Structure 1
Amino acid sequence: GHIIELFKASANYRAYSEAYRGTLGRHSDALKDCYGSAPFFEIKPHHIRSDLSQLSPHAANDRLKIWRLLCQYAYDHNFADHVASDGIKRGKLPKTDGHRPWSTADVNAFRAKWEIGSVQRLCFELLFWTAARTIDAVTLTPSMIGADGVLTFTQAKTGGKAYVPWNCALPGWAKHFETDRTLLKACITSTTFTFLETSNGRTRSRKGLSNIISAGAAEAKLTGLSAHGLRKSRLTAIAEAGGSASAIMSWGGHKSLKEAEDYVSTANRKSVLIGTEQKQKSANTTPKSANKLRN
């Protein structure tokens, strides 16, 4: 437990992003609860492997991160004569597509359930338009909108900049996105600080935001959907509309071109199987709530 407390008080730990510190903090607290009384210099590789074996593949890899950091810290500061985590490799993860993107039908069903004016609808529309992660979405404010009409923010996870068209003209390939932007603005009332602040004027928590979307989807009879899936939906929509990998990087704030190119590659493979008429129909699908705004 002593090594964990020293590490969490170190400059290296404080330099990590809030999101990463949250992950490390959860696992270091778990280690302290389970092994807090054990002398760190007695930790051996088989102890670490035994701990990891009790976790799911994703959780085990996250746990290994804190083990590596603690073991290196203990060695560097003469609390151990070896780095016990050396040689322990990350486990293989099961192949998965991760968070499922919301389909047009999913989006329409959620909008039909939650009318403009509800907290659920505001949270949904902001996430869907900005493609922000929940940790960033709860911090977005009107002050981030520049004179050029672009909402610009720095992502907590990667440190990369994201650029979201807010008041500016949309690029040609994104003209049919205007309905989504109009719906978002219809949801936003006067704010004193953040777009998603609570009724008490406090910043909403990322966990609270995630729960609002998950619970709202469940009440709309939608299953397997998450807040992060809305991010994937927007970036997928950009690719399918003809936006470039650079456009996806700018809107989504990616620091790696590879991830953005994956969206474009998937969209291109799908496009060869979809007729022009069907693609046009999909692009022009407008929920009833959008029609009401226009009338």
Structure 2
Amino acid sequence: MNKALPTYASAYTDRHGIQRVRLRRTGYVTHYCQHKPGTPEFTEEYHTWLANGKKQVGENRPKPGTFDELIARFYKSKNWQEIKESTRYTYRGEIERFRAKYGSRSARTMTAQHVASLIAKMGDTPNAANNLRKRLGQLFRYSIELGWRIDNPAKIVKGIKVKSEGHKTWQEEHIAQFQACWPRGTKQRLAFDLALYTAQRRSDVRIMGPQHIKDGAIAVKQLKTGKSMAIPIHPDLAASIAAMPTAHLAFITTERGTLFSAKSFSMWFRKQVIKAGLDGYTMHGLRKAASRRMAETGLSNQEIKAITGHVTDSEVARYTREAEQALIARRAMAKMAQVVWLPDPSQNLATHFQEAESNAKN
């Protein structure tokens, strides 16, 4: 291999004669890399191993009934294998931080009071506390399958309310500012327009490419939900795609022409946003902006869900709550003004339907 390997990495030839890389360090689990050195994916894989690959005390021979044993079994279970690999990296980090402190404690006797006390101590980091509560819930559900417990104490405990509205929704002035900084024909603008005009998550935007376009739509299989969709291409997005032709399988690639990893793509886009003077705005905020625009246009929840991929009306409501109230109110009042209100309620209803039929014909 021509690429210089980082510390703890070594090359070897597998039984098929292919050169590969493994990561070995005293006290760490040996890891066989899935990606090639020099790629963003390899860098992410390497740093994930450094952060989460350390062997824990009691990992080889955990004491029966402890969290050490429960976690070791959980990692070998079907429940764990069914979780996406990228998600497992995140979950493992959260579980191992808990295990480092409480691995030797009994998983059979922990009560809801114990869980509540643990979560309360993490009040300064509410998101981390809520994530730990979810991971404990998974472990306790698995312990029920093992016959260790008959209850799930984490399910009883409430999470900590996070005082945050999440990702900021881009408003029209922010959209115009970014577009002024990054005109059509730039990679930054194409990434922006892909997110804004498809209303998809960054994990889906980063892998979109020419091969996904068919019959005026872009095919998307959402990584988070597994849902397959066909999103009609907005004229502005079509113009951006035409302004930046590519020979790659993805519209947006690294300087080396390789696919961005999820983490590196997010970091790259954040830098472009900062350069446009909009620090604090994210690609996920564009998904919310697209939803806001659709609500302000008067699209129904069903129409919005057909583009965003949301399943429930409550999910759509979270994304459209910042729709311009005055604009929607004017449109609603204009519709109300078309109805002639009469003393007889039945006549009002009839008049309303006559107006609707007339408008439909016109």
* DSSP-derived class of the 1:40 partner: coil
Aligned pairs (5 A) from 1:107-146: 107-146=175-214
Aligned-pair distance for 1:249? 0.8
CA distance in 1, matches of 2:155, 2:260: 41
Name 1:283's counterpart in structure 2: none
- Judged with a 3 Å threshold, the aligned counterparts in structure 2 of structure 1 residues 208 and 242 are, in CA distance, closer, same or farther, namely same
- Judged with a 3 Å threshold, the aligned counterparts in structure 2 of structure 1 residues 89 and 272 are, in CA distance, closer, same or farther, namely same
Name 2:71's counterpart in structure 1: 4
* TM-score, normalization by structure 1: 0.75
Larger gyration radius, structure 1 or structure 2: 2
Which ranges in structure 1 are unaligned for 5 or more consecutive residues?
Answer: 167-176, 276-295
- Once the two structures are overlaid, the 10-residue window that deviates more, 38-47 or 155-164, is 38-47
* DSSP-derived class of the 1:162 partner: strand
Whose RCO is larger (CA < 8 A, sep 6+)?
1
- Judged with a 3 Å threshold, the aligned counterparts in structure 2 of structure 1 residues 18 and 257 are, in CA distance, closer, same or farther, namely farther
Aligned-pair distance for 1:96? 4.4
What is the Cα-based RMSD across aligned positions, in Å? 2.9
CA distance in 2, matches of 1:50, 1:87: 14
Q: Are the counterparts in 1 of residues 116 and 157 from structure 2 also a CA contact under 8 Å? A: no
Q: Are the counterparts in 2 of residues 244 and 264 from structure 1 also a CA contact under 8 Å? A: no
Aligned pairs (5 A) from 1:76-95: 76-78=145-147, 80-83=148-151, 85=153, 88-91=156-159, 93-94=161-162
Aligned-pair distance for 1:263? 5.8
Which ranges in structure 2 are unaligned for 5 or more consecutive residues?
Answer: 1-67, 332-362
* DSSP-derived class of the 1:112 partner: helix
Name 1:196's counterpart in structure 2: 252
Q: For this pair of structures, how many residues does the alignment match?
A: 262
- Judged with a 3 Å threshold, the aligned counterparts in structure 2 of structure 1 residues 82 and 264 are, in CA distance, closer, same or farther, namely closer
* TM-score, normalization by structure 2: 0.63
Aligned-pair distance for 1:45? 3.2
Name 2:144's counterpart in structure 1: 75
Name 2:279's counterpart in structure 1: 223
Aligned-pair distance for 1:199? 3.2
- Residue type of the partner of 1:210? S
Name 1:208's counterpart in structure 2: 264
Name 1:254's counterpart in structure 2: 310
- Judged with a 3 Å threshold, the aligned counterparts in structure 2 of structure 1 residues 137 and 180 are, in CA distance, closer, same or farther, namely closer
CA distance in 1, matches of 2:155, 2:305: 35
Name 2:34's counterpart in structure 1: none
Name 2:236's counterpart in structure 1: 179
- Residue type of the partner of 1:7? F
Task: Report the identity percentage.
Answer: 27
Q: Is 1:242 matched with 2:298?
A: yes
Name 1:27's counterpart in structure 2: 94
Name 1:51's counterpart in structure 2: 118
Q: Is 1:62 matched with 2:119?
A: no
